[in-house]
Amino acid sequence: GKENGSNNIDARVVDVDSGLFVDITGLSVSGESLTSAELKKLRRWVPNELLDTYPTNKRTTRKKNHWNPKAPKNLHKEEKPEEVIIDKIVEAEIFEIHKENHIYNCRNKHFYTLQQLSPLRLTLFEGAPTFVAANKESLRAQLITEYSSKSVERDAWEQYVFSKPLRMWLNADDIYQACQSILDTESSNLFSKGKFKPNNIKGSRVLKAYHKEEANIIATMIQNSAYQITKDPPLKIDEPKPLRLNLIEYLYYSRNYTSIHAKEMDMYYPGWEWSYPGVNDYANIPSSKKD
Protein backbone atom coordinates (compact mmCIF):
# COMPACT_ATOMS: atom_id res chain seq x y z
CA GLY A 1 0.00 0.00 0.00
CA LYS A 2 0.97 3.62 0.39
CA GLU A 3 1.87 5.62 3.50
CA ASN A 4 0.79 9.16 4.34
CA GLY A 5 4.28 10.59 3.89
CA SER A 6 5.28 10.52 7.56
CA ASN A 7 7.16 7.22 7.36
CA ASN A 8 8.02 5.56 4.06
CA ILE A 9 10.75 3.17 5.19
CA ASP A 10 10.60 -0.16 6.98
CA ALA A 11 13.99 -0.16 8.69
CA ARG A 12 17.19 1.84 9.03
CA VAL A 13 20.69 0.53 9.68
CA VAL A 14 23.02 3.11 11.27
CA ASP A 15 26.81 2.91 11.60
CA VAL A 16 27.36 4.45 15.04
CA ASP A 17 31.02 5.22 14.26
CA SER A 18 30.59 7.14 11.01
CA GLY A 19 26.93 8.16 11.13
CA LEU A 20 26.30 6.51 7.76
CA PHE A 21 22.79 5.10 7.53
CA VAL A 22 21.04 2.86 5.04
CA ASP A 23 17.27 2.88 4.70
CA ILE A 24 15.55 -0.42 3.98
CA THR A 25 12.27 -0.37 2.11
CA GLY A 26 10.10 -3.39 1.41
CA LEU A 27 8.32 -3.97 -1.89
CA SER A 28 5.02 -5.78 -2.30
CA VAL A 29 2.07 -6.23 -4.61
CA SER A 30 -0.71 -3.78 -3.79
CA GLY A 31 -3.91 -2.31 -5.14
CA GLU A 32 -2.40 1.18 -5.26
CA SER A 33 -3.17 2.60 -8.68
CA LEU A 34 -0.53 3.74 -11.14
CA THR A 35 -0.99 7.14 -12.71
CA SER A 36 -0.59 7.50 -16.47
CA ALA A 37 2.87 9.01 -15.95
CA GLU A 38 3.95 6.20 -13.62
CA LEU A 39 2.66 3.56 -16.03
CA LYS A 40 4.57 5.20 -18.86
CA LYS A 41 7.82 4.78 -16.92
CA LEU A 42 7.23 1.00 -16.89
CA ARG A 43 6.39 0.69 -20.59
CA ARG A 44 9.64 -1.17 -21.34
CA TRP A 45 8.85 -3.84 -18.75
CA VAL A 46 5.10 -4.49 -19.04
CA PRO A 47 3.03 -5.97 -21.91
CA ASN A 48 1.87 -3.43 -24.51
CA GLU A 49 -1.77 -4.38 -24.02
CA LEU A 50 -1.54 -3.39 -20.36
CA LEU A 51 -0.69 0.17 -21.36
CA ASP A 52 -4.05 0.41 -23.14
CA THR A 53 -6.23 -1.45 -20.65
CA TYR A 54 -4.87 -0.31 -17.26
CA PRO A 55 -7.67 1.36 -15.20
CA THR A 56 -5.90 4.67 -14.55
CA ASN A 57 -9.10 6.75 -14.64
CA LYS A 58 -11.44 4.66 -12.48
CA ARG A 59 -10.55 6.18 -9.15
CA THR A 60 -13.25 8.26 -7.48
CA THR A 61 -12.76 11.73 -6.00
CA ARG A 62 -12.44 10.14 -2.59
CA LYS A 63 -9.58 7.88 -3.68
CA LYS A 64 -7.78 10.62 -5.60
CA ASN A 65 -7.77 12.90 -2.56
CA HIS A 66 -7.07 10.23 0.04
CA TRP A 67 -3.39 11.14 0.33
CA ASN A 68 -3.71 14.79 -0.67
CA PRO A 69 -2.57 16.92 2.31
CA LYS A 70 -4.47 19.91 0.89
CA ALA A 71 -7.78 18.05 0.73
CA PRO A 72 -10.46 19.13 3.26
CA LYS A 73 -10.15 17.31 6.58
CA ASN A 74 -13.84 16.39 6.58
CA LEU A 75 -13.70 14.95 3.07
CA HIS A 76 -14.43 11.41 4.22
CA LYS A 77 -17.39 12.44 6.38
CA GLU A 78 -19.38 13.30 3.28
CA GLU A 79 -18.22 10.45 1.09
CA LYS A 80 -20.88 8.51 -0.71
CA PRO A 81 -21.28 4.76 -0.02
CA GLU A 82 -21.14 4.00 -3.74
CA GLU A 83 -17.73 5.70 -3.95
CA VAL A 84 -16.38 3.39 -1.26
CA ILE A 85 -17.70 0.36 -3.15
CA ILE A 86 -16.23 1.56 -6.46
CA ASP A 87 -12.85 2.15 -4.87
CA LYS A 88 -12.77 -1.30 -3.30
CA ILE A 89 -13.68 -2.95 -6.62
CA VAL A 90 -11.04 -0.97 -8.50
CA GLU A 91 -8.42 -1.67 -5.84
CA ALA A 92 -9.07 -5.42 -6.06
CA GLU A 93 -8.89 -5.25 -9.87
CA ILE A 94 -5.59 -3.37 -9.76
CA PHE A 95 -4.17 -5.79 -7.20
CA GLU A 96 -4.80 -8.71 -9.56
CA ILE A 97 -3.26 -6.81 -12.48
CA HIS A 98 -0.14 -6.06 -10.46
CA LYS A 99 0.09 -9.63 -9.22
CA GLU A 100 -0.21 -11.06 -12.72
CA ASN A 101 2.37 -8.67 -14.19
CA HIS A 102 4.78 -8.77 -11.23
CA ILE A 103 4.46 -5.05 -10.45
CA TYR A 104 5.59 -4.03 -6.97
CA ASN A 105 5.70 -0.77 -5.05
CA CYS A 106 7.04 0.65 -1.81
CA ARG A 107 5.09 2.87 0.57
CA ASN A 108 6.47 5.94 -1.17
CA LYS A 109 4.56 4.98 -4.32
CA HIS A 110 7.56 4.02 -6.41
CA PHE A 111 6.71 1.17 -8.78
CA TYR A 112 8.99 -1.50 -10.22
CA THR A 113 8.61 -4.77 -12.10
CA LEU A 114 10.36 -8.05 -11.40
CA GLN A 115 12.03 -7.80 -14.80
CA GLN A 116 13.53 -4.46 -13.74
CA LEU A 117 14.92 -5.80 -10.48
CA SER A 118 16.19 -9.22 -11.56
CA PRO A 119 18.82 -10.39 -12.15
CA LEU A 120 21.21 -8.47 -9.90
CA ARG A 121 24.95 -7.95 -10.27
CA LEU A 122 27.64 -7.19 -7.74
CA THR A 123 29.34 -3.78 -7.71
CA LEU A 124 30.84 -1.36 -5.18
CA PHE A 125 29.13 1.60 -3.55
CA GLU A 126 31.56 3.82 -1.62
CA GLY A 127 33.79 0.78 -1.21
CA ALA A 128 31.08 -1.57 0.05
CA PRO A 129 29.89 -4.62 -1.97
CA THR A 130 26.42 -3.81 -3.31
CA PHE A 131 23.90 -5.55 -5.54
CA VAL A 132 22.22 -3.49 -8.27
CA ALA A 133 20.08 -4.33 -11.29
CA ALA A 134 22.16 -5.94 -14.02
CA ASN A 135 20.23 -4.30 -16.85
CA LYS A 136 21.62 -0.82 -17.51
CA GLU A 137 18.32 0.61 -18.77
CA SER A 138 16.59 -0.72 -15.68
CA LEU A 139 19.16 0.74 -13.29
CA ARG A 140 18.90 4.12 -14.96
CA ALA A 141 15.09 3.98 -14.82
CA GLN A 142 15.20 3.15 -11.10
CA LEU A 143 17.46 6.12 -10.38
CA ILE A 144 15.14 8.41 -12.32
CA THR A 145 12.09 7.03 -10.48
CA GLU A 146 13.72 7.62 -7.12
CA TYR A 147 15.61 10.87 -7.73
CA SER A 148 14.26 12.34 -11.03
CA SER A 149 16.04 12.56 -14.39
CA LYS A 150 18.36 15.30 -13.11
CA SER A 151 20.11 12.77 -10.89
CA VAL A 152 21.79 11.14 -13.90
CA GLU A 153 22.15 14.18 -16.12
CA ARG A 154 23.03 17.34 -14.21
CA ASP A 155 26.65 18.30 -13.72
CA ALA A 156 26.19 20.93 -11.01
CA TRP A 157 25.16 20.07 -7.45
CA GLU A 158 25.31 22.23 -4.34
CA GLN A 159 28.81 23.82 -4.29
CA TYR A 160 30.24 21.56 -6.99
CA VAL A 161 30.59 21.19 -10.76
CA PHE A 162 31.41 17.88 -12.40
CA SER A 163 34.46 17.80 -14.67
CA LYS A 164 34.27 15.09 -17.32
CA PRO A 165 37.96 15.29 -18.33
CA LEU A 166 39.10 14.94 -14.70
CA ARG A 167 36.26 12.58 -13.68
CA MET A 168 35.73 14.43 -10.43
CA TRP A 169 33.63 17.12 -8.75
CA LEU A 170 35.30 20.53 -8.56
CA ASN A 171 34.47 23.07 -5.89
CA ALA A 172 32.67 26.12 -7.28
CA ASP A 173 34.81 28.47 -5.15
CA ASP A 174 37.96 27.07 -6.79
CA ILE A 175 36.41 27.50 -10.23
CA TYR A 176 35.43 31.11 -9.51
CA GLN A 177 38.91 31.85 -8.21
CA ALA A 178 40.45 30.41 -11.38
CA CYS A 179 38.08 32.50 -13.48
CA GLN A 180 39.34 35.69 -11.85
CA SER A 181 42.70 35.29 -13.59
CA ILE A 182 41.04 34.41 -16.91
CA LEU A 183 37.89 36.52 -17.16
CA ASP A 184 36.51 39.83 -16.01
CA THR A 185 34.29 38.22 -13.42
CA GLU A 186 32.55 41.49 -12.61
CA SER A 187 31.18 42.08 -16.11
CA SER A 188 31.21 38.62 -17.68
CA ASN A 189 27.81 37.30 -18.75
CA LEU A 190 29.00 33.75 -18.11
CA PHE A 191 27.96 33.91 -14.46
CA SER A 192 24.43 33.89 -13.10
CA LYS A 193 23.33 37.21 -11.70
CA GLY A 194 23.54 38.07 -8.03
CA LYS A 195 26.19 38.73 -5.43
CA PHE A 196 28.73 35.96 -4.92
CA LYS A 197 29.40 34.92 -1.35
CA PRO A 198 32.93 33.52 -0.85
CA ASN A 199 33.07 29.92 0.38
CA ASN A 200 29.42 29.38 -0.49
CA ILE A 201 29.15 29.62 -4.28
CA LYS A 202 26.64 27.28 -5.90
CA GLY A 203 27.91 25.14 -8.75
CA SER A 204 25.03 26.20 -10.99
CA ARG A 205 26.22 29.82 -10.85
CA VAL A 206 29.63 29.09 -12.39
CA LEU A 207 28.55 26.23 -14.67
CA LYS A 208 28.24 28.32 -17.83
CA ALA A 209 31.67 29.89 -17.30
CA TYR A 210 33.21 26.49 -16.59
CA HIS A 211 31.85 24.96 -19.80
CA LYS A 212 33.05 27.96 -21.82
CA GLU A 213 36.54 28.12 -20.31
CA GLU A 214 37.02 24.53 -19.12
CA ALA A 215 40.54 24.08 -20.51
CA ASN A 216 41.82 27.36 -19.09
CA ILE A 217 40.14 26.83 -15.74
CA ILE A 218 41.58 23.32 -15.32
CA ALA A 219 45.04 24.55 -16.35
CA THR A 220 44.86 27.41 -13.83
CA MET A 221 43.67 25.12 -11.03
CA ILE A 222 46.45 22.61 -11.75
CA GLN A 223 49.01 25.43 -11.73
CA ASN A 224 47.65 26.65 -8.40
CA SER A 225 47.71 23.09 -7.04
CA ALA A 226 51.35 22.69 -8.10
CA TYR A 227 52.27 25.97 -6.40
CA GLN A 228 50.63 24.88 -3.15
CA ILE A 229 52.74 21.71 -3.19
CA THR A 230 56.09 23.12 -4.36
CA LYS A 231 55.90 26.84 -3.51
CA ASP A 232 57.86 27.38 -6.71
CA PRO A 233 57.64 31.16 -7.51
CA PRO A 234 57.16 30.75 -11.30
CA LEU A 235 53.94 28.84 -10.60
CA LYS A 236 52.47 31.52 -8.38
CA ILE A 237 49.26 33.16 -9.53
CA ASP A 238 48.39 36.59 -8.12
CA GLU A 239 48.03 35.89 -4.40
CA PRO A 240 46.09 32.64 -4.86
CA LYS A 241 43.84 31.46 -2.08
CA PRO A 242 44.38 27.86 -0.96
CA LEU A 243 42.30 25.52 -3.08
CA ARG A 244 39.53 23.70 -1.31
CA LEU A 245 40.58 20.67 -3.34
CA ASN A 246 44.14 20.21 -4.61
CA LEU A 247 43.71 18.67 -8.05
CA ILE A 248 47.15 17.10 -8.30
CA GLU A 249 46.86 15.34 -4.95
CA TYR A 250 43.31 14.19 -5.62
CA LEU A 251 44.09 12.90 -9.11
CA TYR A 252 47.12 11.02 -7.79
CA TYR A 253 45.19 9.23 -5.06
CA SER A 254 41.89 8.67 -6.87
CA ARG A 255 42.80 7.87 -10.48
CA ASN A 256 42.56 4.08 -10.14
CA TYR A 257 39.17 4.32 -8.47
CA THR A 258 37.69 6.85 -10.87
CA SER A 259 38.90 4.88 -13.89
CA ILE A 260 36.88 1.86 -12.73
CA HIS A 261 33.84 4.02 -12.08
CA ALA A 262 34.29 5.71 -15.46
CA LYS A 263 34.07 2.38 -17.28
CA GLU A 264 30.99 1.47 -15.28
CA MET A 265 29.29 4.80 -16.00
CA ASP A 266 30.12 4.52 -19.69
CA MET A 267 28.14 1.27 -19.73
CA TYR A 268 25.13 2.76 -17.99
CA TYR A 269 25.11 6.22 -19.50
CA PRO A 270 26.90 6.38 -22.89
CA GLY A 271 26.09 10.10 -23.14
CA TRP A 272 29.09 10.84 -20.96
CA GLU A 273 32.48 11.02 -22.68
CA TRP A 274 34.66 9.32 -20.11
CA SER A 275 38.24 9.84 -21.25
CA TYR A 276 41.24 11.89 -20.30
CA PRO A 277 41.89 14.89 -22.57
CA GLY A 278 44.46 14.54 -25.33
CA VAL A 279 47.16 17.02 -26.29
CA ASN A 280 45.07 18.47 -29.11
CA ASP A 281 42.06 19.02 -26.87
CA TYR A 282 43.75 21.99 -25.24
CA ALA A 283 45.52 23.33 -28.34
CA ASN A 284 44.08 26.82 -27.86
CA ILE A 285 45.31 27.32 -24.31
CA PRO A 286 47.48 30.47 -24.04
CA SER A 287 51.19 29.63 -24.07
CA SER A 288 51.56 30.77 -20.45
CA LYS A 289 49.25 27.93 -19.42
CA LYS A 290 51.17 25.29 -21.38
CA ASP A 291 54.52 25.89 -19.70
Can you give the residue range of the structural domain that contains 101?
11-116
d(CA 92, CA 108): 20
Task: For residue 240, tell me if it sits in a domain.
Answer: yes
Same domain for 251 and 171:
yes
Same domain for 160 and 132:
no
Which tens digits make up the pLDDT trace of 239-291? Answer: 667 788 888 888 888 877 777 767 766 766 655 544 444 444 444 545 444 44
CB 202 within 8 A of CB 157: no
Which tens digits make up the pLDDT trace of 230-246? Answer: 888 878 877 667 788 88
Among 117-126, 217-226, 236-245, 281-290, the range scoring the smallest mean pLDDT is 281-290
Same domain for 23 and 110:
yes
Strands 156-157 and 160-163: antiparallel
Q: What is the pLDDT of residue 74?
A: 55
Task: For residue 130, tell me if it sits in a domain.
Answer: yes
Task: For residue 194, tell me if it sits in a domain.
Answer: yes
Q: What is the pLDDT of residue 179?
A: 85
Q: What is the pLDDT of residue 171?
A: 92
**Domain count within the chain:** 3
d(CA 229, CA 170): 18
Q: 21, 264, 23, 24: which is closest to 152 by C-alpha?
A: 264
Task: For residue 3, tell me if it sits in a domain.
Answer: no
Confidence of residue 3 (pLDDT cuts 50, 70, 90): low
Residue ending a domain, among 96, 128, 150, is 150
Rounded to 5, what percent of the chain is helix, strand, coil?
45, 15, 45
Among 24-28, 50-54, 197-201, the range scoring the smallest mean pLDDT is 197-201
- Entry pTM: 0.62
Task: For residue 272, tell me if it sits in a domain.
Answer: yes
Most confident of 38-42, 94-98, 208-212: 94-98
Residue ending a domain, among 92, 116, 140, is 116
Confidence of residue 1 (pLDDT cuts 50, 70, 90): low
d(CA 163, CA 143): 21
Same domain for 78 and 134:
no
Mean pLDDT of 152-175: 88
CB 181 within 8 A of CB 219: no
Residues 6+ apart with CB under 8 A from 285: 215, 216, 219
Strands 128-133 and 120-125: antiparallel
Cβ-based neighbour number of residue 5 at 10 Å? 11
Task: For residue 107, tell me if it sits in a domain.
Answer: yes
Is 162's pLDDT higher than 50?
yes
Q: 220, 173, 217, 174: which is closest to 198 by C-alpha?
A: 173
Mean pLDDT of 8-15: 89
Confidence of residue 201 (pLDDT cuts 50, 70, 90): confident
Same domain for 145 and 50:
no
Same domain for 134 and 16:
no
Confidence of residue 196 (pLDDT cuts 50, 70, 90): low
Coil, strand or helix at 252: helix
User: 161 forms bridges with which residues in the sheet?
Assistant: 156, 170
Higher per-residue confidence, 219 vs 148: 219
Same domain for 170 and 145:
no
Task: For residue 4, tell me if it sits in a domain.
Answer: no
Q: Give the number of C-alpha atoms closer than 13 A to the C-alpha of residue 35, restricted to the C-beta side.
A: 6
Same domain for 202 and 224:
yes
CB 223 within 8 A of CB 236: no
Higher per-residue confidence, 1 vs 184: 184
Task: Give the Å distances, CA to CA, from 103 to 94, 107, 191.
Answer: 10, 14, 46
Task: For residue 1, tell me if it sits in a domain.
Answer: no
Same domain for 169 and 43:
no
Which secondary structure element, helix H or strand E, spans residue 160, and what is its range? strand 160-163
Strands 11-14 and 156-157: unpaired
Higher per-residue confidence, 287 vs 120: 120
Q: What is the pLDDT of residue 144?
A: 85
Cβ-based neighbour number of residue 161 at 10 Å? 25
Mean pLDDT of 68-82: 55
Q: Residue 94 phi/psi, 5° resolution?
A: -65, -40
d(CA 260, CA 263): 5
